[in-house]
Amino acid sequence: MPKKPLRETRRENQSAHKFYGAMYGKPPMIDENLKPKREIVKRSDKYELEASVVADISRLLAHHPQVLFACRSNSGAAYMTGRDGKEMPVTFNRIIRSPVQMRISDFWGVCLASKEVIETPTIIGNKQIATMKVISQAFNVKYPNARMFAIECKRRNWTKPTDQREHEQAAFLQMVRDAGGVGIFATCAEDVLNAFNVEFSGTPAALSPEAPLERRVSRRATRADF
């Protein structure tokens, strides 16, 4: 059973003191001096949260023909029992070497270059979001033009890196781009589609981590190859 927060325990103790004080017609002997419990007036729409973006992009990468390999990375650590019966920490990701301080993105993997272009619908959930140009590549050959991609998901109204964590994520994405890969912050599945299409059409990608939201929305709205 999870342990109660200290604030909740103190609130229950205060209620008990008031109850027994009222029984004997006396004020509570102890006053916890607690602030009123904060109420969330307006909750964010689930569609706007980062979890929704992660789910959409996960489904996209699982079915996109241009994606050869895709991995979902989680930050943090957990404890497991070793052979000696003792618990030991196990990190989900551990960077062994990097040029600067950085954090691994939510998704990373290998995408293929164009061999044969076909038209196919892109389905996210129950909605067709676009008809995109995708890549068909036989799996019995080598991939000399394959490239790494890295995608860091953010909630849909996110605009640019603001704290240390996000700047470390941006450093990882920049390193991937400097090495010839595709590295972007994404606030929707269309950002990923756009980045793949732009990167493999021979034009430089404009979806850098510092790109403002208005610029990315404009690019999605005017994409001609959908």
* Residues 179, 169 contacting (CB under 8 angstroms): no
* pLDDT, greater one: 2 or 153: 153
pLDDT above 50 (res 206): no
pLDDT above 60 (res 120): no
Q: Could you report the per-residue pLDDT of 43-66, keeping only the tens digit for each?
A: 778 888 999 999 999 999 999 988
Q: Could you report the per-residue pLDDT of 91-113, keeping only the tens digit for each?
A: 888 889 999 999 999 999 999 87
Q: Buried b / exposed e across 151-186, counting CB within 10 Å, b at 16+?
A: bbbbebebeebeeeebebbbbbbbbbbeeebbbbbb
Closest CA to 17 of 8, 6, 29, 25: 29
* Residues 168, 176 contacting (CB under 8 angstroms): no
Grade residue 207 by pLDDT with cuts at 50, 70 and 90. very low
Closest CA to 149 of 118, 187, 193, 98: 193
Mean pLDDT computed over 125-147: 57
Mean pLDDT comparison of 1-15, 59-73, 80-94, 115-129, highest-scoring range = 59-73
pLDDT at 214: 38
Mean pLDDT computed over 70-98: 86
* Residues 193, 205 contacting (CB under 8 angstroms): no
Residue 129, classed as helix, strand or coil, is strand
Indicate the domain borders of the chain.
1-39, 46-221
Q: Tell me which residue has tokens 């034009």.
A: 203
* Residues 164, 70 contacting (CB under 8 angstroms): no
What is the chain's mean pLDDT, rounded? 76
